[in-house]
Amino acid sequence: MNAPLTPQPLDAALLQQMADALRVLCADAVEQAKSGHPGAPLGMAEMATVLWSRHLRHDPADPRWPDRDRFVLSNGHASMLLYALLHLTGHDLPLEELRRFRQLGSRTPGHPEAGVTPGVETTTGPLGQGLANAVGMALAESLLAAEFNRDGHTIVDHRTFVFVGDGCLMEGLSQEAISLAGTLGLGKLIVLYDANGISIDGAIDDWFADDTPARFRACGWRVIDAVDGHDLLAVDAALTDAVTASRQPEAKPTLIVCRTTIGKGAAGHEGTADVHGAPLGRDGIAALRTTLNWPHPPFEVPDDLRAAWDARDAGAARRSAWHARFNAYAAAQPVLAAEFERRTRRALPTNWQARTDEAVAALAAQWVRDGKPIATRRASQLALNALAPLLPELFGGSADLTGSNLTDFTGHRRITPQHRAGNYLSWGVREFGMAAAMNGIALHGGFVPYGGTFLTFSDYSRNAIRMAALMEQRVIHVFTHDSIGLGEDGPTHQPVEQLAALRLIPNLDVWRPADAMECAVAWVQALQRRDGPSALVLSRQA
């Protein structure tokens, strides 16, 4: 198991300087871009500094190391904060890229994009989705831990940290994510809420008066409330508490409510909506430097602070400690270790091609023998029955329509809060949450997720499907009841425009198999696809 990460006693004065370095770097980059969101990075500077310098287990030299902690910036408009963190901790993101913030072709786009910037775990911006992605990541971690860890050999044990803002929590999607995480008891999920009380239209009291801690508690979360988000010691204590609690087998997911001031440090703009989405301007930047007593020119970070931020040595030590543990595991469990390695590498099993050819041929022979038409949803289930044994990483589910989508396969193992070692999840009536969490599972690695609902309700999850396409993630959507032929349920359930609308999403493969064989082939292609999601659009009737 990962040893507690408290490498050095907390030096509050140094940490504050590190936070201010982060703050000014963000403000300078937004100013240079003449575009962007300075308010959230300034407000979250202390939260980010404490988390990234004292709790987040990562290695800047290898941002794909399987057992790294995940960090998700769900309020993605604060992207500059993440870029500054990646740069300062030593990721492959040079200062030059920070100067090119929000410019075409830079590795510092307006919102964080997975695959573009090393260390960015998921693409965020559409609010609420980062949190739901994180639920998928934490779920994947817990499933892999249940499947691969052995007594004395803990090779999967990492946390998923998320920053969320008020906007994320207003989105209904957040509720699907929160409810799932609480129900499933995803104890290694730790969310830091940047509670600044401001959204774009102003002070939120008139449109968002929820008692958010009570809402999370109602959904089975542990809440650390009323933390002063600018008090480095308080944030550190909360994170220490949360990380410690996450080691318990029955841990709940944790929410840390950090009360912050948007635009902290920007004299005259603190705590207002106007600092949310516009650069501070020349005078504002000057005032920030005065307030912080920061004499350094734009984009310059003093060497001592650079050294304090640099996480490469600590990261290398963490990663090599894990590799040592993994080697011991591999010696004791060579088959499991090889399988773990294959799955986290996203490689298909050996002989996949030959075995799937064989499986599909057997299905074809069976269907020819039977000689009668079957619904493609039924063909899909038969294909799953044949293919699932060949692909242990297959992870199925449905948004409460298992018996209609026919997404369960022979021998599937249901995941419940008590039984984590499974490969099938009833997601509940949460189409969007399912889709966004599946994106998180795919991003995490170790599983190939698919999930079902009615074609009409692809509308509910549509933006998450788009995000999978943007991120080029292997996520498979099973959309059954594909035509007005479903009849009696009426127009609310009859898809008309959905098939064509899905086909408009760039990089989404849409399959509408015309018979059982095409359905089987579509499944194989979707499972093999390396650069994006697929939608299988299937009929109810034969």
| Positions in 403-432 near a copy of itself (CB under 8 A) | 403-404, 414, 416-417, 425-430, 432
Residue type, 468: A
310, 462, 472, 529: residue in contact with a copy of itself (rule CB under 8 A): 462
**Is 145 or 470 the residue whose CB approaches a copy of itself more closely?**
470
Range 38-77, binding a copy of itself (CB under 8 A): 76
Clarify whether 121 is annotated catalytic.
no
d(CA 86, CA 63): 10
d(CA 525, CA 522): 5
Ordered strands of the 160-165 beta sheet:
70-73, 160-165, 189-195, 254-259, 222-228
Structure tokens at 302: 């003093």
Binding of a copy of itself by 110 (CB under 8 A) = yes
Alpha helix (H) residue ranges in 371-489:
376-387, 402-405, 431-444, 458-471
Question: Shortest gap between Cβ of 427 and a copy of itself (angstroms)?
Answer: 7
Question: Shortest gap between Cβ of 29 and a copy of itself (angstroms)?
Answer: 12
Of 497, 457, 463, which Cα lies nearest the Cα of 479?
457
**CA dihedral over 272, 275, 281, 287, signed as positive or negative:** positive
Question: Shortest gap between Cβ of 518 and a copy of itself (angstroms)?
Answer: 24
Binding of a copy of itself by 480 (CB under 8 A) = no
Question: Shortest gap between Cβ of 21 and a copy of itself (angstroms)?
Answer: 24
Binding of a copy of itself by 174 (CB under 8 A) = yes
Binding of a copy of itself by 183 (CB under 8 A) = yes
**Is 333 or 404 the residue whose CB approaches a copy of itself more closely?**
404
Q: What residues pair up with 222 in beta bridges, in sequence order?
A: 254
DSSP class of residue 347 equals P
* Candidate ranges 133-141, 215-223, 378-386, 517-525; the one touching a copy of itself (CB under 8 A): 215-223
Range 387-406, binding a copy of itself (CB under 8 A): 398, 400-404
Binding of a copy of itself by 113 (CB under 8 A) = yes
Binding of a copy of itself by 207 (CB under 8 A) = yes
Neighbours of 49 (CB within 10 A): 27
Of 183, 160, 248, which Cα lies nearest the Cα of 440?
160
Question: Shortest gap between Cβ of 63 and a copy of itself (angstroms)?
Answer: 20
Cα 341 to its chain centre, rounded Å, is 21
Question: Shortest gap between Cβ of 295 and a copy of itself (angstroms)?
Answer: 30
* Candidate ranges 9-17, 186-194, 239-247, 463-471; the one touching a copy of itself (CB under 8 A): 463-471
Q: What residues pair up with 45 in beta bridges, in sequence order?
A: none
Range 324-383, binding a copy of itself (CB under 8 A): none
Binding of a copy of itself by 182 (CB under 8 A) = yes
Of 342, 346, 362, which Cα lies nearest the Cα of 354?
362
217, 247, 259, 296: residue in contact with a copy of itself (rule CB under 8 A): 217
237, 267, 287, 501: residue in contact with a copy of itself (rule CB under 8 A): 501
Decide: helix, strand or coil at residue 290: helix
Range 218-237, binding a copy of itself (CB under 8 A): 218-220
Of 7, 80, 68, which Cα lies nearest the Cα of 43?
80
Binding of a copy of itself by 478 (CB under 8 A) = no
d(CA 91, CA 98): 12
**Is 219 or 258 the residue whose CB approaches a copy of itself more closely?**
219
Q: What is the CA radius of gyration of the chain?
A: 24
**Is 376 or 453 the residue whose CB approaches a copy of itself more closely?**
453
Binding of a copy of itself by 170 (CB under 8 A) = yes
d(CA 209, CA 197): 10
Q: What residues pair up with 414 in beta bridges, in sequence order?
A: 424
d(CA 9, CA 168): 34
d(CA 238, CA 193): 12
**Is 16 or 175 the residue whose CB approaches a copy of itself more closely?**
175
Binding of a copy of itself by 105 (CB under 8 A) = no
Question: Shortest gap between Cβ of 346 and a copy of itself (angstroms)?
Answer: 23
Question: Shortest gap between Cβ of 75 and a copy of itself (angstroms)?
Answer: 10
**Is 249 or 490 the residue whose CB approaches a copy of itself more closely?**
490
Binding of a copy of itself by 36 (CB under 8 A) = yes
Binding of a copy of itself by 250 (CB under 8 A) = no
22, 27, 164, 173: residue in contact with a copy of itself (rule CB under 8 A): 173
d(CA 226, CA 238): 10
Contact 490, 439 (CB under 8 A): no
Range 307-326, binding a copy of itself (CB under 8 A): none
Binding of a copy of itself by 171 (CB under 8 A) = yes
Contact 41, 131 (CB under 8 A): no
Contact 123, 111 (CB under 8 A): yes
Q: Do the strands 198-199 and 202-203 form a parallel or antiparallel pair, or are they unpaired?
A: antiparallel
Range 187-206, binding a copy of itself (CB under 8 A): 199-202, 204, 206
**Is 37 or 289 the residue whose CB approaches a copy of itself more closely?**
37
**Is 76 or 315 the residue whose CB approaches a copy of itself more closely?**
76
Decide: helix, strand or coil at residue 399: coil
Binding of a copy of itself by 463 (CB under 8 A) = yes
Among residues 431, 488, 497, 518, the one annotated as catalytic is 431
Q: Which residues are catalytic?
A: 431
